[in-house]
Structure 1
Amino acid sequence: MQIRMTQEFPIILSTDEAAKAEAAAALYRYNVAITGTDDRIPIGAVLCDGSGKALGGLWGRTELGLLFLDMFFVPAHLRGLSYGARLLAAVEEEAKARGCRRAVVETSSFQAPGFYIRHAYVEFGRVPFGFDGQARVFLRKELA
């Protein structure tokens, strides 16, 4: 069977954020239609200085019973002082209150896989970068 195209649609390389947002919304609508679940909610915890200025934090989303961790930053001068552990605990507790049973994160081998492993995350995948010795690391954790 041969499929015949009656109309050609152009493909354009683009970094346009509006186009990306439109496609993401369409994909989310599709996911909701398939799963019957519309529960995506942003999640985050911010590390502030004494004046309330954000110094770092942890952000992600909860969706389909999963906590997805997207971005985590603690300034170098505050690392090793339990701020990271406290941020992670706060977000995980909120995710559990939302009904999440698992967490997923991706990080780089030169960033924080050891931090996550110390907090009961387990590596389940690794993809080498285009240069020697470093990789993208995927980890998960049971929250229940």
Structure 2
Amino acid sequence: MSITGDLKINLSHSQEAKAWAAKALYRYNVEETGIDDRAPIGAELCDPAGRVLGGLWGRTELGLLFLDMFFLPDYLRGSGYGGRLLAIVEEEANRRGCQRAVVETSSFQAPGFYVHQGYEEFGRVDFGVEAHARIFLSKRL
């Protein structure tokens, strides 16, 4: 591809552009690794009427489980449901061939929960709220 003229950079948050770039990046990753295994993964906690109360969502890719979002309402935290949701997702990831799991959380969210579940911190980045950080954890499945 040849480009003539000046290119422009636009400050943007276009979901269409982001989706296009994500597909292009994934194609590149597949070309480089020869592995095309990205798949969504998740588990939801529902009440007896089927309403979603919380859950855990992420993806599996390149032998890794990436945990993107985990939410339980306050009244269900500490009840054991979080550990059960995580175990179900980890078991499915393991069936898919994943050997490790990776999660990013904030210091005021759930790092202690993940450590209790066997995750180990491998990185930390302070952010704009004093005494708080983003924490990166992983676990061998």
TM range (shorter): over 0.9
TM-score by length of 1: 0.94
Partners of 2:8 and 2:53 in 1: CA distance = 43
Shift of 1:31: 0.3
| Residue 72 (structure 2) aligns with | 74
Q: Of the candidates 125, 130, 141, which is equivalent to residue 127 of structure 1?
A: 125
Match of 2:100 in 1: 102
Backbone CA RMSD of aligned residues: 0.9
1:62 aligns with 2:60: yes
Q: How far apart in 2 are the matches of 1:53 and 1:6?
A: 54
Separation in structure 2 between the aligned mates of residue 120 and residue 54 of structure 1, nearest angstrom? 27
Equivalenced residue count is 139
Q: Which residue of 2 aligns with 1:8?
A: 6
* Structure 1 equivalent of residue 27 of structure 2: 29
Q: Which amino acid aligns with 1:43?
A: I
Moved over 6 A (4+): none
Take 1:42 and 1:7, find their aligned partners in 2: how far apart are those partners? Answer: 40
Counterpart in 1 of 2:41?
43
Counterpart residue number, 2:110: 112
TM-superposed deviation, 1:6: 4.3
Query: How far does residue 7 in structure 1 lie from its aligned partner after superposition?
Result: 2.5
Instruction: Provide the secondary structure at the position in 1 that maps to 2:124.
Output: strand
Percent identity over the alignment? 68
Q: CA deviation at 1:96?
A: 0.2
> Which secondary structure state, in structure 2, belongs to the residue aligned with residue 27 of structure 1?
helix
Structure 2 length as normaliser, TM-score?
A: 0.96
